[in-house]
Structure 1
Amino acid sequence: MEEQRATSLSRMDTIRALRLFLYNGIFWAAYGQVAGVMTPVFTGFALFLGLKESDIGTIASFSALAGLAQLFSPSLTRNIRKKSLFIIWVGFAEIITVLSVVFIPLVLPKHLWFIGLIALVTGGTILGHLVSPVFQGWFATAIPQQIRARYLSKRTTAVYLTAIITGYVAGRFLDALSGYKGFVWVFCFGMAAGIAGYLVLFRVPFPQMRSSAPTGFLPSLFGPFRDR
């Protein structure tokens, strides 16, 4: 396949990208506390539906297996010219697919709830992994090497603080408004936060791409293990 490498952004574009990627991380941290398969909110919802602990482990296994989609991302995205739009629109589909699990009791009979959870979580996770390599390349290009450690530290701190606050508030909210209605509100909040994280990307400058020598699938796959 033909590899594409990103060129650096201008100074003003870099400043704007760093600020917006910070907001993006905050929104996604809030989303992750709701949508993560092994988070208290999601596992609480699964137990509310009557699933067993082993069922939750099965869902987590399928979610992890969906990570293999990253292997095919370069092949699927190399001919897409508007990669930023691809990331955003597929990201919207990921968010909506994963958090649509909250509507399972309304549209599926009880004996299909477990299968519905697996299908939606796995499908949404696959979509997320398809765009992840492209997004990571976009994100890495935006950060100048001389401030990379400081910026990542700042962003990571903001992400962890947001996750802690979101998890605490969501837990207290579910204690106050127990039952299905509480989960609906929390999942709708998570969906809004996740979509907001992708909406921010509309304003992030995307670097120009330049082509390099084409390589096959297997050389690209094992490239990180080769000595440079």
Structure 2
Amino acid sequence: MNIMRSRPLNSRPKWGRKPSRHRKNLSIATWEGVPATVFQVLLQGQFLTGFLLYLGASSSQIGFVLALTTLVNIAQIGVAFLIQKLPSRKWAMVGFVTLHRILWTSTGLIPFIFPREFWVIAFIGLYTTAFIANTAGAVLWSSVISDLVPPRVRGRYFGIRNTLLNGLGSIVMYAGGIVLDYYHGGQGFFILYIVVWIFAAANIVVLLFYPDVHFEKSEENRFWPMFKKPLHDKLFMKSTLFLAAWLLLQNLTVPLYSYVMLQLLDINYETLSLLNVSQTVFMMASFYVWGNLNSKYSNKRLLLWTLPIIAASSLVWGLLSVLPMLLVLFTAHIIFGVGVGGFNQLAFNFIIGDTPKKERPMYMAMFAALTGLSSFFGPLIGGQIYGWIEDWPQWTQVYGMQLIVGILMLALAFLLGRRVLKDE
């Protein structure tokens, strides 16, 4: 007996079906990340530190610049209220992100426009204005993406997306390091900025394809009642304040790793790129693992698991006193990649998944403001400390700071983290 059913004439084979609306939206969000990744990788991290050193910035000025991006996150609270009044989140997002891309890429023109004595001041001015615009764009993008990605696939989707984009970022980072080693000084940075300008423009174009998804607005239409909602959520505030304290400690040293390696250890850009690539590769692998674990365990429990890993990466720097330099640095970067990959992914899932949907913009803004404030003071204080201990024995600058911070992070994780980041 033939049990096969004939296919209706008007049906199409499975491989020929049009993708669903959700699948199409996820594809757009993934492709948008490609030019954004190239743009950001070449303008931050080791390249940002190197460009600031080329402009003549001191360690305290570098710490200040690295901290600025998080300080302006405080403005997200106002943005979270104002977007409730917007007829369209998409076009506001496109506008603010475009402004950010234009202003940040304009920093590449500073050596051609300003006298040398104004290079650092001009950079700080453009950079600050760019990230004020980015603050609004970040709130809008996070709000849109949280509605685009269905909750049931959120952990796995962001795991895959982050893996792909960080893989691309690793290649770009290594290529950028080779360019700067081959073309010294301003010529190398000018080549990087040409690539940045091209991909910034591509990023703006792809943003236009985002759908203007329906926005479930807050039931409150006044600022103060809306502002108080996350403040009255005790579980949310407890977790957020703890994570803010953690980031304060972490950012005392981590943003200044590139400064230590470039200035104190005399590592070239290619080697520094390889270190960061190794960190990114293990971060990519961890995204998939953390994403799968997230389908079994809560965001907060997994966040707790990431903390000792990050602390261990800081403590490993102490082995520079007894082991070969590159072995220690590669080990530290790999461990940090595994830990911070999980931390960033799970913190994002926490604010878009463990918060009320209608009030999510204000919850996200409150999280960004509190963690941003602590992340601002971290590298700012760290940069000042490196300035104060400049005349101390070199080991205190190379790995002494990391040892102290690592011990403090372990104490915070085990004494307070286990009580705060527990399943309720």
After the TM superposition, which residues 8-23 of structure 1 pair with which residues of structure 2 at under 5 Å, given as runs?
12-23=20-31
Matches of 1:198 and 1:144, distance apart in 2: 25
Deviations 1:44-98 (A, max 9, x none): 1111112222211121233321121211112333333232122112211101101
State the partner residue of 2:182. 176
Is the CA contact 2:30–2:161 (under 8 Å) kept in the aligned structure 1? yes
Matches of 2:185 and 2:160, distance apart in 1: 37
Match of 1:33 among 41, 64, 67: 41
State the partner residue of 2:103. 97
Worse-matched range after superposition: 155-164 or 210-219: 210-219
After the TM superposition, which residues 112-127 of structure 1 pair with which residues of structure 2 at under 5 Å, given as runs?
112-127=118-133
After the TM superposition, which residues 180-195 of structure 1 pair with which residues of structure 2 at under 5 Å, given as runs?
180-195=186-201
Deviations 1:84-135 (A, max 9, x none): 1221122111011012111111111222112111111110011011121111
**Residues 49/147 of structure 1: CA separation in 2 closer, same or farther (3 Å cut):** same
Give the deviation of 1:171 after TM superposition. Answer: 0.5
Match of 1:64 among 44, 52, 70: 70
**Residues 50/20 of structure 1: CA separation in 2 closer, same or farther (3 Å cut):** same
Matches of 2:70 and 2:154, distance apart in 1: 29
Deviations 1:1-32 (A, max 9, x none): xxxxxxxxxx8321111001111222222222
* 2:143 aligned partner, one-letter code: G
State the partner residue of 1:147. 153
Match of 1:138 among 139, 144, 154: 144
Consecutive unaligned residues in structure 2, runs of 5 or more: 1-18, 234-355, 357-424
Deviations 1:179-207 (A, max 9, x none): 21221121221233233223212112121
Consecutive unaligned residues in structure 1, runs of 5 or more: 1-10
Greater strand share, 1 or 2? 1
Return the TM-score normalized by structure 1.
0.86
Is the CA contact 1:97–1:121 (under 8 Å) kept in the aligned structure 2? yes
* 2:87 aligned partner, one-letter code: R
Worse-matched range after superposition: 177-186 or 96-105: 177-186
SS at match of 1:92: helix
State the partner residue of 1:46. 52
Worse-matched range after superposition: 55-64 or 164-173: 55-64
Worse-matched range after superposition: 164-173 or 175-184: 175-184
State the partner residue of 1:226. 232
* 1:65 aligned partner, one-letter code: L
Give the deviation of 1:40 after TM superposition. Answer: 0.9
* 1:206 aligned partner, one-letter code: D
Give the deviation of 1:211 after TM superposition. Answer: 4.2
Matches of 2:65 and 2:136, distance apart in 1: 19
Matches of 1:144 and 1:133, distance apart in 2: 18
Return the TM-score normalized by structure 2.
0.48
Matches of 2:95 and 2:58, distance apart in 1: 34
SS at match of 1:22: helix
